[in-house]
Amino acid sequence: AQSVTQLGSHVSVSEGALVLLRCNYSSSVPPYLFWYVQYPNQGLQLLLKYTSAATLVKGINGFEAEFKKSETSFHLTKPSAHMSDAAEYFCAVSEGLTGGGNKLTFGTGTQLKVEL
Amino acid sequence: ETGVTQSPTHLIKTRGQQVTLRCSSQSGHNTVSWYQQALGQGPQFIFQYYREEENGRGNFPPRFSGLQFPNYSSELNVNALELDDSALYLCASSSGQVPYNEQFFGPGTRLTVL
């Protein structure tokens, strides 16, 4: 089974500072990896995804992530945090189902707090 | 383009009761997945439906069951509710069975079991 681990359940940064949210994966096959964001009382919104086309993936709202096979990592970064980035962030890996299709296996999430 | 919608938004039930949650998939999507998100946790996969057939199930007991209809909308049914079933239930729709396709999530149904 594939899995992801998110280090740091809570991260706090100052507005304008670098955002770094960590995600490590475990997979026996080349993974498909995703970052989702969840605002309070809302569903999940896709930020970006890795599909093996390029190791540096750019997403929405200025976020990007780099796939590093040697480190089994897919960390999410943003050069300059904005107050509106405060939310919970989930890393996920796509895993095939026996009947076809795929499911997402999520990490436990990282709550990002942005301070003035 | 209409996104994924879920109803109801909130629900309160007592232990032992049964509940049905509903999901309308995004236009053009034929695959629906259901996830359970307990407080402070990441979503956990319950099952997936593709063209009205269940094609995968997570580690949930049989009292969690579902349906997908010809218009690709879906229901999640939970029988004999337990306190631990209290969670946010998320529905996600996608197109086809390609593993890197995005799953589009609805806003969820918050279920509280007393």
Which residues does B28 contact at the CB level (< 8 Å), separation at least 6?
B95
Q: Which of B105, B109, B110 to mutate to test the interface with A (most CBs of A within 10 A)?
A: B105
Q: Comparing C-alpha atoms, which of A21, A44, A10, A31 is closest to residue A95?
A: A31
Query: Nearest-CA distance from A51 to chain B in Å?
Result: 6
| A23, A45, A67, A103, best to mutate vs chain B, most B CBs in 10 Å | A103
Cα dihedral angle (A21, A26, A32, A34), rounded to 10 degrees? -20
Any chain B CB within 8 A of the CB of A103? yes
Question: A64-110 pLDDT, tens per residue?
Answer: 999 999 999 999 999 999 999 999 999 999 988 888 888 999 999 99
Span A17-54, pLDDT tens digits: 999 999 999 987 888 999 999 998 888 999 999 988 78
**Measured between alpha carbons, how far is B56 from B53 in angstroms, rounded to an integer?**
9
Nearest to B5 by CA among B111, B105, B88, B95: B105
Put simply, the chain A residues between 58 and 97 with a CB less than 8 A from any chain B CB are 90, 92, 94-97
What are the tens digits of pLDDT across the range A49-66?
998 878 999 999 999 999
Q: Which residues of chain B have pLDDT under 50?
A: none
String of DSSP letters for A94-115: EEE-TTSSEEEEE---EEEEEE
